Structure 1
C-alpha cells in the first residue's frame, strides 16, 4: 500500500505556527509538497532553476488538499496563482483542471465568471506526485466584502455569481461546493504593478522554522520553514482604482461533476450543502448521495443571502441534525421522503412538535431575515424582491427549485440599481 500523509508523520516541532499555516504534520508522504519562496516550477523540472517558468514570491493561502502561491510567470512576466496539491488529492485536482478546460471551451464561449486556468503540470517530490494548476490571481471575496460595501456592489456580485452558475449548468457541469470561500474577485490592477512594488507592498513574510524535536524526523518531506498567507484583500484595497463593480470568479472545481453524474463522494461545506445531500448523509448514512444542478441552486441562494447580509445562514452548524432543523425553519414543510425519519427523530428526542415549522413560524423567521437584509438593500421594494427570490430558491425539494435561467431572470436582478446584467 502506498504511504499516506498520516503515515510516519513527525509528532512534535519546536515551533508551532499556532494555526497561521497549514498543518506541519501533513508534510509527509501523500501530503503537501515542501515549497518555499524562490522555488521555481516548470513542466520540465529537469531545466535549471533559472530557466523554469514559474517563480514563487509569496503564499496566497492553503486548504486541506493544497497550498496556493503567488508566482511570477517568467515567460510572460504575468503574476499567476500556483495551486500545489497534496499527493493524495492529485486525482481530484486533475478533475478540476478538466472541468475548467471544459468550461473555457464551452460552445457558447468562456465565462468571465469562472476562474481562468493558464497551465497545468505535475511534479515529483519527496512526498509523492503533486498536480499544479496555474491560474489567474483572484482576491478572496470574503476579504473584500466589507460592512460598508454598497447595495449596488452586493447586487452586482450576486448577479455575476448567478451568471457564472448559468454558464456552468449550460455547459453540463455542477459545482457541488458553492459558497463564499470558493469565490474570488478578479484583480486586473495587479498586472499594472512591478514585481518590486508588489513585494514591497504585500505583507512582510511571517515565517515559522520547521524543526522537529526528534532530529531523525528532519527529512526532505519537510520545508525549511512555513509561511503565513499574505492578505491580498488588504493589498488590493491599498492600490485599487476607484470602486468598480465586482468581477466575480467561481473557484475550486475539485467537487465538480458532469450534470448527468448522479452520485459522488461530495465534500462540501455546510453553507453549500443542499437538503437532499444533508438528509442522505444524516438520515440515510449515504457516503455518495445523489445531487444535481438543483443542489447548486440551493447553495446559490445561501451565497446570495450572505453576500447581501454579510452573515451566513448555515456556517458553524455542521452537517448534522441541526442543519436539517435550520433548513426546515426556513421552509416550513418536511418532504414526504423525510417524514419517517423526522417523526422518529422527534419521538426519540421526546420533543414533540417543538421545532415549529408552521407557515406562521416560517413567516416570522423570514421577517427577521428581512430586517437584516434591509440594512444592505437599496429600499423596501428591493429587499422584498430579494426575500421573494430567496424563498423561491430555498425549498427542500430539489425539483421545486427554480432553474438557473429562471433565477437570473428574477425581478430582483432586473430592477433597482440600473446595472446592466454582466455577460456570462
Structure 2
C-alpha cells in the first residue's frame, strides 16, 4: 500500500500512515467525546492507540482517554482484563499500584469503531525519565535516587504479586509501562493546564498528493504534552497497559507475545513461551533497570542473538536444548560457553556482580538537567557493597535458565534487598528472607 500522507518529521507522534480504515480515530483539540470528555491536549501515542488529556464535564475531573485503533478494538482484550481485575475484592497493597479503568465507551468514526478507555492522568514512565530523545546521553547516564528506586521497585513487585496471586500475568512487564503517579490536578484551570503541560503544538497534515486529508485523518497532528515539573510528581508508581495480559490457564500463542526481546526470558526467545516464570525474568530485568538506569540486556538492532549473547556473557552456557539450536553460538563462544580466545571485543564474561558494580560508571553531566534532577541519583554514585550483594542474590535467583528454578514473586517481595532497605534514609537493616509461591 502506498504512502497516504506527507511525512511530518516529528518523532514523538503516531505514525500518520495509521490514519486509514482500521487505523487511528482522527481527534482534534476541543472535540467532545461520549458527550462529556472535552479534549485539551495529547498525552502520547503508540502503535495501537493515541492517548489524550480531557476534562470530564460530569465529574469535573481531568482524565486520560486511550483511543484504540479500529483494528485493535476488534482484537484487544484489555477492557476485559481491566474489568476482571476491577471485580477482584482485595486489600493487597499491590492493588493500589495498578491503573484501573474509570469508564469506557466506543466511537464510530470514519476509520471504523474504536474502543476508548478512560483512566486517571498520570506522569511520565520510568523509561522516559531515563531516556529523553531530545537530549543526547547514553542509557545508564541517569537514574532515580536509591531510596526512590527501592520504593518504585517494591511497588512494581507488589503489583505483580497482586496479579500472580489472582492467576494473571501482565504480559508486557517493561519500564515504559511503569508510570509515576502525580498529585491531583483536578482543581487546575485550563489556563494552568496549558501553563504546566505546555501549549499544544500542532502541525498541518498534508496528503502525499498535496491535498487536504479526507475525514480519515485529522486536519493537523498534535505533539504530546511536555513533562510535568517534578514538584507535581510523587514517588508512587502504577503498572499500566494491560493489552498483553492473560490468565495463567490461557497463555498466549507465539504470535501473541508482544514483550520486547530485551525483557524476554530464554524460553520466550527459543520456545515462544511466556508463563508466570517468564514474567519473573522480565521483572528482574525491570528491577535492574530501575536501579541502574539501563537494562541488563540490550540490542542496538533489536535482534535476539545479541540479547542471547549478553545472557551467556552474564550467566554462562545455555542449557543443551537451547545451546544446540542457537546457530550464532560459535560466533562468540567456545562450546563450554566461554568467550572465544582473542575475541574479547566481541564477547566477554560479565557476571551479575560486575554489572552491578558498573552502575554509576556511565553518568554524564549532560543527563543532569530539568526539574527531575531532584529525583535523580547524584552523578557517579555507586551501589554500596552491602546493597550490591543483596541485589546480586536477588537477581541471580530470578534470572535462572530453567523457569522452574526461578524465585516466586512472593519470595522476591520478601527478599532482603527490599525488606532490609530503609527507603527513607537509604540504609540497610537486618531482616530475614521469606518464601512463598509464584
TM-score range, shorter chain: 0.7 to 0.9
- Determine which of 323, 326, 329 is the counterpart of 2:310: 326
User: Partner of 2:252 in structure 1?
Assistant: 263
User: Partner of 2:18 in structure 1?
Assistant: 26
Aligned residues: 385
Deviations 1:374-407 (A, max 9, x none): 7666622112101111111112211111110010
Whether the 8 Å contact between 1:331 and 1:357 is mirrored in structure 2 is no
- Determine which of 166, 170, 174 is the counterpart of 1:171: 166
Instruction: Establish whether residue 87 from structure 1 lines up as the match of residue 92 from structure 2.
Output: no
Distance in structure 1 (CA, Å) of the matches to 2:237 and 2:293: 16
Distance in structure 2 (CA, Å) of the matches to 1:230 and 1:302: 29
In structure 2, relative to structure 1, the CA distance for the partners of 1:354 and 1:40 (3 Å cut) is: farther
Instruction: Establish whether residue 118 from structure 1 lines up as the match of residue 102 from structure 2.
Output: yes
Instruction: Establish whether residue 392 from structure 1 lines up as the match of residue 397 from structure 2.
Output: yes
Whether the 8 Å contact between 2:323 and 2:329 is mirrored in structure 1 is no
In structure 2, relative to structure 1, the CA distance for the partners of 1:167 and 1:327 (3 Å cut) is: same
Q: Identify the structure with the greater helix proportion.
A: 1
In structure 2, relative to structure 1, the CA distance for the partners of 1:224 and 1:216 (3 Å cut) is: closer
TM normalised by structure 1 equals: 0.83
Q: Where do 1:182-331 residues align within 5 Å?
A: 182-214=177-209, 218-232=213-227, 235-237=228-230, 239-240=231-232, 246-264=235-253, 265-280=256-271, 289-317=272-300, 318-331=302-315
- Determine which of 154, 157, 170 is the counterpart of 1:162: 157
Distance in structure 1 (CA, Å) of the matches to 2:125 and 2:183: 15
Distance in structure 2 (CA, Å) of the matches to 1:364 and 1:335: 18
Deviations 1:111-149 (A, max 9, x none): 111012111111111111111100111112234459363
In structure 2, relative to structure 1, the CA distance for the partners of 1:418 and 1:273 (3 Å cut) is: closer
Distance in structure 2 (CA, Å) of the matches to 1:363 and 1:267: 29
Shift of 1:345: 4.3
Whether the 8 Å contact between 1:328 and 1:357 is mirrored in structure 2 is no
Whether the 8 Å contact between 2:299 and 2:307 is mirrored in structure 1 is no
Q: Which runs of 5+ in 1 are unaligned?
A: 1-6, 43-51, 281-288
For the aligned residue pairs, the C-alpha RMSD in angstroms reads: 2.7
Q: Where do 1:3-22 residues align within 5 Å?
A: 10=4, 12-13=5-6, 16-22=8-14
